[in-house]
Every structure is written in structure tokens, then in C-alpha cells.
Structure 1
């Protein structure tokens, strides 16, 4: 160390780390008129280091002297030209559904950034996050369902599936819903529906009621993940009314774990068999005639057709007990057969996630609930309280809870079109008749002590 006048000059410090006290010593003397060069000579640090910490102190005070690890935070795409970030933003705002990987591929193929070095998928994801353009992840929660045991006896488990649409003569596009017993191979129902932008979920209970009336209630029904049976629009799907209705009737519902034909292989073969038996080469006058033809062919397949999988015998020849499950069903008994406690216990096993809108509203099971404007655009975790029959909505990441009386879970809701037919002395249909009127007419014909004359059509 040397002294020049009143300034002590220390030897340069290279390769050393400056302590907080030394940074403070570099910054404060500037206010007393000492220059950066004089302070550098006095402390042994370079002029650049003294200047750096003096400026940091002037801009942020003592907080500016705290150590900061790593490179300065300048943005996820700060190492790339500004037009890269601009193009990412433009593409994402134009196509909100495109993720980082899609955006990167579009940048590579597009002419806007030809020849430019592009960021990685991770950098684009970080940029979307810091710009507020990232989508909030939705929690994936499976619908509650029992572990599917293997069927051992006839009527343990039915398979249900809708065959893809097919042209049937002058009728147009038709989809056929088939049901079959997994053990005995018994055809428990085949129902034709005109294809009108897909199948109506209201058709399924009618088809099942017809089969229950003839063969009784099975222990289980196996379904695939088609939208007619399962809410494919949500990552945490709420049970459809069909599922809740079956559970309340005491019929367990299981969903196949593998796509056909790895699962429901028998049903896939059954589609082909019934089409060959009743549709191929036939010209049916109307949907009623086709339904009667399908019913006749099911009777033939169940009682007379020599099935190779059953050693050349028909299902009812090998399994005569498959003709009825022993659990009788009639539409007029349905209100008494429905057990809401069974359904509530089923719902209590579930958990669902929904996002609210600007008004704080969200939808669950086709019903609307509202947590208020203070809960706008927030994720809600939903559970069901079977004791109070209420849904509990918890705002994710907070301790805020809301309780809502459950909607759409009464016996009247579950019975749907059947309920008024069993509670009104007369039921008049208005012209022109609709597809829904056709279902009501079929239901009325199934009721004991009721004739088609009871319905004024």
C-alpha cells in the first residue's frame, strides 16, 4: 500500500469477490466529492467496479448493493432478435390452442424468420408464461368407477356400444345400438336410430328400459368412452345422467380400459353379425320395421343360431338361465327402484375441476353454479357432500369455500321423459310429432295398464 497526499493507494485486487462492506465503501465517498478513480486507488478495486457499485447505490440505494447470482433477468427471449418474440406473440394470439412445440414448428416453416436462430421449445414456453399467454393447466381427474371384475356368470355384465352410422336403404344414415351379455353371448337388445348429428343421449335410457323389461337388470354394464356415454370435453368428467341413472338403479358402470377391438371384441363381432343378419341387402320401409327386423334376428341368434364360440349351440341352449337376471324391472316401478343414497355414495368418491367465467359461473353436470364476481376466472376444486347433498367448491390455492345445493339429481331428473307419464292421468302430444314424442309413445306402451289410446296424438 502507498500513500499519495491524503489518499492511500492499495495494490489492485484481481480475481477476488467484493464484500457488501466494500461495495458500500465504494459507493458512499462519491457524495463527499471523491472521484471514482480516487476511490479505486484507495480501495485497490478497478475504476469500473467502483463505478458499477456507485451507480447501483444511486439508483436503488443499499438494496442495489446486494449480491445477485446469475445473469440479469432480461426476458426469456432476450438473447434473440426482437422480431422472434413478436412473431411468437402474434402466432399465439391468432391461434390460442397452439402450444410451444407447435409454435416452434410454425416458426421453422414460416417465412418471417427465415435464416434466424430460433429459441427452443422450453424458451418459448417460458416466454408465453412471462407474457401472460400461457394456458392454465387443467387437473385431470378420472370419473369414479369400480375396478372391473371379470364376469363369471350370465347376466353379470352386459356390453353396450353404438355401431358407426351406415346407410340403410331409403331411410338414410342409421346407427344401431347393441347390447349383449358377456358370458352367454346373449343379444339383449338391438335398437336403430336415425343419425342426426350424432346420437341423442335421451335414446340410451329408452333402449336400456326395453332390454331391462325383457331380461331384467344386470349387475354391471360395460361402456366405451363415446360422448353418448362419457363427457369427453373435460379432463375431470362429471358422470352423465345415464350413468347416474344406472347407478341409482343398482347397476354398476365400468368403462373399458383399451380401445376396441382389444376390449369389447365380442361386441365388435356382434355389430358385424347383426348388420349382416338384418341390414345388408335389405330395404326397410321405416325405422319401426327395421327395429322389428332387428328384434327378430336377435331372437334367432339367441335361440337357434349355432354359435361356433359356444360349440355349435345357441346362447339360450347353453345358458338357459341367461333368459332373465332375476332382478325384475318395470317402468312403473322405476321411481321405487331408484336409490338416491347409492348415487350420492358414488358421487362422494369424485373430484372435479372447473374454471369460472367473468361472472364467476361454472358448469357441472349440465347445471350452472356461481361463486360470485370475486371468484371470476379462478379454478374451482369440487367435491360432493352426500349428507347434505351439496357440492363444495374450493377456490384452488385459497381457503375460500362455497356450498351449492345439488341440481339435477332428483328422481324426477333421473327418470326424464318417463316421470310425467307415471304421474299424470293423461298426456297429450302436440302435432307434428317429434323424435322425443316417439320415445314417449314407446314408453307409454311399456307401462302396465296403459294403452296407446291414453295418449292423445
Structure 2
């Protein structure tokens, strides 16, 4: 029982009992339940359907209803998730300035929660100044009370697009799609460090060498120079 539980930590005693019976053990479910509790085994509690979804998105927060009007008016952020060759997930949190399309910086790690999102934004606020608004979907990392309260303290308003409407957050969706195609489409990566390195290199290229049709053929860095701010995007924008 304990071996099966260790191998399948999210399975409860009922499933383990069924496996034992299938293997030929003559034991009833009540006894397995009793032994299960004696061994202190448990299943992680299920996240309810609406757990963490305390902020409700709205169509009024879409890029069409709420467009960026100037540099540092609206930032947006979202994740790209891929796997290294060992099958383990790697997450990339990307943040962009919607008006200039400048990639402000990426956080790369195996897992990223609300506390990591806050730490990343602290670095970016120091480098680039603070936006008036920051746009996101309803991912639990973004709607967490702690992050929203901190953003309010920073004078930044968090706005959320309608649920299941990624097109309403189109600037970051397009950026993430471009990164996925150009950086993760054909390569195999072996570690977080390797992913972090290539993300930094690619972001630098994206900001300074890749013309953007939505910016009249200019690169994000060249376009941003028309709207001076605290940091030259040619000199920054990588993972902190």
C-alpha cells in the first residue's frame, strides 16, 4: 500500500485498494482505509473550480476597449510553458509594454507563483518605471489577493480580461506566440539555466533587431526611442 501511495501521491485509498485487489490481495476497503489513516497518508486537497479566481475579468478590459495610449500606460504579462528533455515543465513569465511592444523582462523557473510574479515586477518597476495599468488573464498567479494588494500599493491598477478570452489580451498573446514559434518550436533544452540564457538572447534580438509590422516596420527599441523613458531597451530587457 505505501509503495503504491508513494508512486502515485495523488491517488486516494480507494484507488490503491482497487489496485491491490487487482494484484490478488484479499483485503477489504475498510481495512485499507484504516491502515491508510494510521500511516498518515493523504491526498492533496482538490482545488475547487473557482479557487483563486477572485478577480473577474471583463470585456471592458480588452485591448479594443482599453488600448495603450503611451509608453508605460499599460503593461501585460502571461506565461509560456514548455518542457526540458527530462519531461519537467519550465515556465517563462513574460512582461511587455503594450504601446512600444518592448519586452521588459522574463522570469524563467520550474514553477512561478504570485510571490515570484511580485518579485519580478519589483525589478521591472525599478528598471523601467511603473505602468498605470497591468493587463492579465484570470490565472491564479495574477488574481492572488497578495499581488493585487501590492500592485494597488504601488499605484498600479490590475485589469483582467474576460475569462476564456485570450484574444482580449492580444499583445502578450502575440508576443508569447512569437517566442514559442521562434525559440521553442524546434529546439530541445536540458535545463532551466539553458532556457534562461536563450530567452535573454532572443529577447535582446526581439527588442533591437526584429522589425514589427504594428510599429511601422521599426523594432520595439527604435520605436521606444521616440518616447524616452528611464531605461534604454537596447541595454536591458532580459531575465533579472
SS in 2 for 1:162: strand
How many Å separate the matches in 2 of 1:311 and 1:274? 20
Contact 1:155 1:325 in 2 (8 A): no
Q: Is the 8 A contact 1:214 1:324 kept in 2?
A: no
Corresponding residue number in structure 2 for 1:18 = none
**2:184 corresponds to which of 256, 261, 279:** 279
Deviation of 1:157 (Å): 0.3
* Equivalent residue in structure 2 for 1:226, among 119, 136, 139: 139
| Residues 49-448 of structure 1 mapped to structure 2, 5 A cutoff | 149-163=66-80, 165-170=81-86, 172-195=88-111, 199-230=112-143, 240-257=145-162, 259-321=164-226, 324=229
Tell whether the 8 Å contact from 2:84 to 2:191 is kept in structure 1 after alignment.
no
The alpha-carbon distance between structure 1 residues 258 and 151, as it changes in their structure 2 partners (threshold 3 A), is: farther
Look up the SS of the partner of 2:142 in the other structure: coil
Shift of 1:143: 6.9
* Equivalent pair of 1:171/1:285 in contact (CA under 8 Å): no
Contact 1:168 / 1:279 at 8 angstroms: preserved in 2? no
Confirm or deny: 8 A CA contact 1:260 1:268 kept in the other structure: no
What is the aligned-residue RMSD (CA, Å)?
A: 2.9
In structure 2, C-alpha distance between the alignment counterparts of 1:283 and 1:227, rounded to whole Å: 28
**1:207 Cα deviation from its structure 2 partner:** 1.9
Structure 1: 5+ residue stretches without partners: 1-140, 232-239, 327-441, 447-457
Deviations 1:108-141 (A, max 9, x none): xxxxxxxxxxxxxxxxxxxxxxxxxxxxxxxxx9
Does the 8 A contact of 1:200 with 1:228 survive in 2? Answer: yes
**Partner residue in 2 for 1:341:** none
Distance 2:107 2:215 in 1: 25
CA distance in 2, matches of 1:284, 1:167: 8
Note closer, same or farther for the CA distance 1:285–1:275 as it changes in structure 2 (3 Å cut): same
In 2, the alpha carbon distance for the partners of 1:318 and 1:144 equals 30
Counterpart CA distance in 2 for 1:281 and 1:322 is 36
Alpha-carbon separation, structure 2, partners of 1:201 and 1:167: 21
Aligned mates of 1:312, 1:304 — CA distance in 2: 11
TM-score (norm 1): 0.35
CA distance in 2, matches of 1:153, 1:299: 22
Equivalent residues, number? 175
Residue 21 of structure 2: aligned partner: none
**Rg bigger for which structure?**
1
In the TM superposition, residue 282 of structure 1 has moved relative to its aligned partner by 2.9
Q: 1:171 Cα shift?
A: 6.7
Shift of 1:144: 11
Structure 1's 142 and 281: CA in aligned 2 closer, same or farther, altered over 3 A?
Answer: closer
Q: Which runs of 5+ in 2 are unaligned?
A: 1-53, 232-238
SS of the residue corresponding to residue 202 of structure 1 reads helix
Task: State the TM-score, normalized to the length of structure 2.
Answer: 0.63
Say if 1:169 and 1:282, in contact at 8 Å, map to a contact too: no
Q: How far 1:205 moved relative to its partner? A: 1.2
